[in-house]
Structure 1
Amino acid sequence: MRRLTAGLIAFVAIAGLLLVLPVYSAPAPEPVPVTVASSEIELGSLEAPVGSAEVQRGTTAPVDGVSDTAPVLTVARTDVEEFSMVGVTWAYDPAVTDVRAQLRTQDAAGAWGEWTEVGTDDAGPDPEQRPGGEEIRGGTAPLWTGSSTGVEVELVTRSGAAPTDVQLDLIGSPVSPADTALGSPDIQDTADASMAMPNVYSRAQWGADERIRTWAPAYAPTIKAATLHHTADSNNYTADQVPQIMRNIYTYHSQKLGWGDIGYNVIVDKFGRLWEGRAGGLASTVIGAHAGGFNTGTFGVSMLGNYDVVDTTQSMIDSVAAIIAWKFSLYGVDPRGSTTLVSGGGGTSRYASGVAVTVPTIFGHRDVGSTACPGRYGYPRLDEIRGKASGILGAVVPLVHQRYASDAEARRLLGTVTSTPARTPDGGGAYAHYANGSIYASYETAAHVIRGPVRDRWAAQGWETGALGYPVSDTVCGLRDGGCFQRFQGGSVYWSQATGARVVSGAVLDRWAAQRWETGSLGYPTTDVTAIPGGQFAHFQGGSIYSSQATGARVLSGVVRDRWAAQGWETGSLGYPTTDVTAISGGAFAHFQGGSVYWSQATGARMLPVAVRDRWAAWGWEGGPLGYPVAELVATPGGKGQMAQFERGWIYWSQATGARRVDGPVRDAWLAAGGDGGALGMPVADAGTTADGEARFGDFQGGSVYGHPESGTHVLPTAVVAAWRAAGGERGTLGYPTSGAVPTADGRSMVTTFEGGEVHATAAAGQVLSGAVLDRYRAAGGLGGELGRPMTGVTTLPGGGQFAHFQGGSIYWTQATGARVLSGAVRDRWAAQGWENGPLGYPTSDVTVLADGVQFARFQGGSVYWTQAAGARMLTGAVRDRYEAAGGPGGSLGLPVTDVQALAAGGRYAHFQGGSIYWTQATGARVLTGAVRDRWAAQGWENGPLGYPTSDVNTL
């Protein structure tokens, strides 16, 4: 039976002789006052820094509201005694209210911690509280650092106000043996209270040194309200460190800020433990220094830590409510009421002195002060604290009695009382049990009847302390199939004869509600909402709801849900659903984080991973050319990827190439070439139609497949495709391929024929041959001829000519000169003088080889002759013409041994095996040979007395 307290019965039966040996243990250390060491480092001011303090521009880490050029007072010290708390204080100035300090400390190993920002301590005494002669200082909130040996601080204000007499305060309370052996709290009850007092650790237990307390307690006429604070301190503390932190805060408040004592009446740590603060008695009206301007008549409770950056703990909130409820029980304060306080002004008060302010009886410091206290996580808990305090005070107990006494239908359903109304153990509500059920009430939820299987399921969940909390409606029956339900703070319980009582909550409950609860397609829940990694779910008669933060709550049902379940639910490759199951023409689908499941009557339920699903989507989903999937992803035959079959095609996928659609003749040719296990590898693009609409094609890792109704379907290696497309593809001079790539006899290259030419390719590159150049190449024997393999494709020159280079030479073509084959030394000599752009222009003949091995070729502007002895010589102009007239290589001159050379006077000459030809405009081209030439040369050639020849050498 719930709510029974077991008593302890000690019974010892001794029969015969029993020898009991005493057992001794060392007594726990007694708490003693602990002397706290502190030191000060003077910084001076921005205008006059002192000691090692300096002024810099901007803070190291950004501070909201402060420019990066603002003047900053800074100091760094590592020559200090060990400390565990740090704060910054300055000469009190009511205009200085927006100080921001950035601090970081060094541990014993020499490692520096992260920068931490602290603001102005927004607590403090009222102006009239300050004893004469006592120096009150402004300061930051103190920061617990743990054991530290170095400190660096940067001080700045948002408004530009300049604090003076700035001082860095380092406080180091030693660890007391009693800190880790506190025992039971000393303050456990008081005869003044009408209700039990929560346990509180006393000032003596945390080691307060009463000698440093300089202010005598002052008392208000009564207590009218409680103020919730946070210390804005570190949240990174252990239970054993709390007494040490208390001593450090006490020292900082009383001695460094000049408040004479610790400011708060009670401090609550994150473990829910209560600690006595201000001296003067917890049951009294002693005035603290916690909310400047509003200290008198208020009970200051501060949560130890910074609850602007992390959330509060439930045990902390429960203890805050408990101590405030106890305090209010002494002074008759309603936790749900309001009161009027008169501001004392000063400090960070939002109200000038004498202004009357109406506030809730439990209010946050920010309600009366210019502060964020008790933080963005602490402030929203105030209403919960008010409700809990109300429940603890017993205001909620009458609600149970009133509901039963005033509601005849409730009495009929519940029957007789079996336990009288009482507070719940957490103090936040009340309950009573009856023959056929219970009534549970809280201030927030009112009193509600709970009975039957719904009540049993709620009880199994932990009653009001479980996840469901208090009921917010009565148990309601008469639903479909005779079911019942009840709503609670944290969800609902639904019951039917077929499904039992099930807990539904959160996003799953909301989604089910949108589906029309139990009357919708899902019916009743068949499981509780169950937490799973990253989300939650519940099963229903007609399906399931799965929810996660990333995906929302989604409804799954039928064969789509079954297929998802078969692959491992949310832990499988698909993850959580991102849509509901949705009906479409002829089928249904649902999307998931990792893909989709699609179903039709003809194809069944098929799972598609994201990449394949998205590619299919790009082709129009099931309404596109592919239709529904008919098979799931399987490995490709070559093992390089995976493939999924659809009603009218395939999608292939690999990590390297993505998902690609391949079908029809392209797929057939690819598979015939070995598929992904062949030279083509995996597809790198969807199969498509050429721009002219005449052919289908597909690109693969190792090439492409092109299929044309007239020229056929052909496999083209990558180098061939690259060269072909660079030449304009099917719309260029080559047109469509008429063959696949045919290896050459030596196996070093391959040839692919096209409608308008050929592509000769190695694995690295392809060369395009077409037109007159290709015709001349073929006439010269092609690959088996003197030219061998092409090294370039056909290239069009600016003047309309074309050329291609080969292993054994070149072919040059123009409309005027035709296609000419050049090779060897003749081609090289022509190239050296600038190819077709030099004086020779384009070739007008092939290189011709004479019987004695002499080679020559004629050009538009001359000729090139080559012999083994003389090399390649270039003849141009009138000299070349006279040579040809003299019989050329077969004439008396023989072969040239020099190029045509220019002379200073504008003449030209060339030497030959059998003589020379000299030319000027005035004398024409003249042949000189034999002794005559030699005699002329001996007298200085054209520079001698004879000058240029005016006739050939004539034989008489």
Structure 2
Amino acid sequence: MRRLVTGSLASLVFTGTFLVLPVYAQPGPEPEPVAASSDEVPMGSVDAPAADADVQEGLTDPVAGVAETQPVLTVTRTDVDRFSLVGVTWAHDPAVTDTLVQVRVQDETGAWGGWTEVGVETAEVAEPGADVRGGTEPLWTGPSTGVEVELVTRSGAAPTDVQLDLVDPGSSPADSALGTPDIQDTADAAMDMPDVYSRAQWGADERIRTWNPTFAPTLKAATIHHTAGSNAYTAGQVAGIIRSIYEYHAVKLGWGDIGYHVIVDKYGRMWEGRYGGLSSTVVGAHSGGFNTSTFGVSMLGNYDVVDTTPAMIQSVSAIIAWKFALYGVHPAGTTTLTSSGGGTSRFAAGRQVTLPTVFAHREVGSTACPGRYGFARMGEIRAGVSDRMRGVSDGIAERYAADQGLRTTLGAPVGSPRIEDGVRWQQYASGRMYWSPSTGVHALWGDILARYLALGGPRVLGAPTSDHLPTPSGTGYYATFQVGSIYWTLGVGPRWVKGWVLDRYGALNREAGLLGYPTSEELPAAGGVYQQFQGGVVYSSASTGAHEVHGWVLDKWTAMGREKGILGFPTSDEVRTGNGAYGSFQRGGVFASSAGAFEMHGWIWDRWVAAGAGSAAVGFPTSDERRAPDGRGAFNTFSNGVVYSSAATGAHEVVGAVAQKWLALGGPGSFLGYPVAAPKALTGKGTVSRFQHGWVYASPGTGAHPVHGWIGALWQSMGYERSALGYPTSGEQRAPDGVGVFQTFTGGVVYSSPRGGARAVQGPIEDKWTRLGGLSSWIGPPVTNQLTMPDGRGRASVFASGAAIYWSPGTGAFEVHGWIRDLYSSLNAEQSFLGYPTSDETPVAGTPAVVATFQGGRIYSSPRTGAREVHGLILGRYLQEGGPTSALGLPTSNEYGVRDGRRSDFQHGSITFNSRTGALTVTTR
């Protein structure tokens, strides 16, 4: 992280046009540039997170369409300097189109706020070749000391060079002592310029402005925006907010300057934005594809969540009216603009679009800007502009006289103007013109006018808020009203769309989107309303909002009874996935793919969504929900597994090879029962699902196998697949003894019987046991788990035959059994002078005896002599004499003490060691 200082010091804030603030007798502080500073926190990318960043599974505050296992890039910092604005930027990449960023901050008291989803910046820089970055909208947080950020894309596209930007706007005495707006524009306008505070007054540091102004030939329209930041600002914070936006736009996004021409705060105060002069046609960076010949006015705050203020709307109208008066733009007319295209424009480059001269950003861009409350004020803004540019009493006549094309369309006036429900209108030979103080003057004709009148005209729909206009797709016509819009296309006719259904229709790109034109008007539904379109339906209710349903999902939902069926109302639009698409409903969902359309509901639906829905490992559904064979649960089959649900266990998915094995065993009717947990990924590309009575483990090298019962309990106590046993390589099998069962693992075998429980044989001891014949041999099944010897290095296992297999790093694994093991154990086994065995028991040639060798000696055993040990110097001399085949024969005693030494007896003699002289004496008889 590095701290950047991008200016000098001090700024000035002021009294607004509509806000009454205190007046001071003494002069206020002089304005001067203020140093905005910022912290840059590198985050890297999901594939290569920066040192301070991390990658987690899923969002902390879940969002629809983001799987709980999806990689999320995150960073938390509480060691930063105080900041008031947050933004996240990344390397410009046209493929990164669906970035989702969540932010929460820690205030100066140390308290953390809630998570806020920050929209992606949809404006575009106007200067060709500029080194720009993708990024979020700037989020004003107020003074903060800590921040946590999470970034993900629904599509899986991976932004690179991600950076968290924390901006502090700096401060100056002028921020709390407002002066008089000082812009004195001398342009020849028909009206006085309203008060606007200059760049100098809000403390713009021109040294960070790298954009060179360019100018359009003329002005044709105004575009209305909102900044989408916090609405909880005070009057004294506004200058700092604008400095922060300027720093973020100019430096962090690489635009070189602030994008808007004018910013209007909630107090009605106006602030100069883009450098180049308010009276000029300087090109801004505020509306992708439509920056040229437009005047960008942005309302400070987020007007998708709260309503605008009257003072703000009055000021927006005032500055546009002054600007239009300079360039002769008709406030109630239309204009034709040519799109320059771009990733955020609704219109391709070169497309000519007819628009109102005052239009909202959302009418040309893929955005909700200026928010639903801001957009609802568009008619009021247009009317306010008209009111300021002329007397309202003759607005209809003035429009008619000024527009030759309109006169040709409408024909001659018929009769005199009339007023109906507060709306003034004039009949013409082929149409009408309507006017109201809040909407301005608009013309209607043809089928749209006829439908408007048939529906009740101004009494029901209010006044028109637009003319009769061609749709952007060029396939029909529409007009907007205070209550709804009427759309017309050939073969369908005019249809009224309103309320939440209209909001959803607009968000889906209206007639140019998947729904096409409306084919009905709003109809009643059980608990809501719906409307039919060429490409689907939109359903709306108070509890769910409005959402579209179309295609195979609609067909399936219809077959199930639509909103009256088990699924209820839709709660989302259709979501596309790599294998199909799904729609969410109140109590479930429908997924459609080439395999067909299938419903899910209840716990199974909830589990599929929690597992990632379209990106879930279990895949997409291939059946409707069915009853389980035992009658206690339910299930859906999926392209890569199943999801089973029961009252006792809830709903859980079983996927891939694990699902195949479990179903082959009998599914919930098998000894394993129902799944009780989601699949878990393991080391070595393994996976496990847990069931009521066991597990099924799978890995690429072992396949899928169940583990349960006593064997499962022992394996669990040893550490599952992380233990020395590793993954199972078989299921449980009957043992050759007909009493117990056994199961093989990559690192050993576990045997279980009712009498002895479960015992594991593993590693080199298991290898030795297997070579001896394992369960099918004389040695029998294990009666102990592998034992660790006191020296910490050796291991041993004991078996049903009484035999034991010992292992140490220096000796390997060897078995000891019968009389030899009895003697070995009585001597304290490997802790004795004998140490670990170095051979199995082997016959002694020419005798009825057997022998086992050890690190420190030997044990000989025969029916006549029993088991006897020989070791040390006596063993050495015994072997020199010829051992058991010598005249001495087999040992008949263990080594024992005598006067001045040690002795071992043999069948035909003895060997004595004199510890005083070191002599070895062999005596035969």
Normalised by the shorter chain, which TM-score bucket?
0.3 to 0.5
TM normalised by structure 2 equals: 0.45
TM normalised by structure 1 equals: 0.43
Greater relative contact order: 1 or 2 (C-alpha under 8 angstroms, separation 6 or more)? Answer: 2
Larger Rg: 1
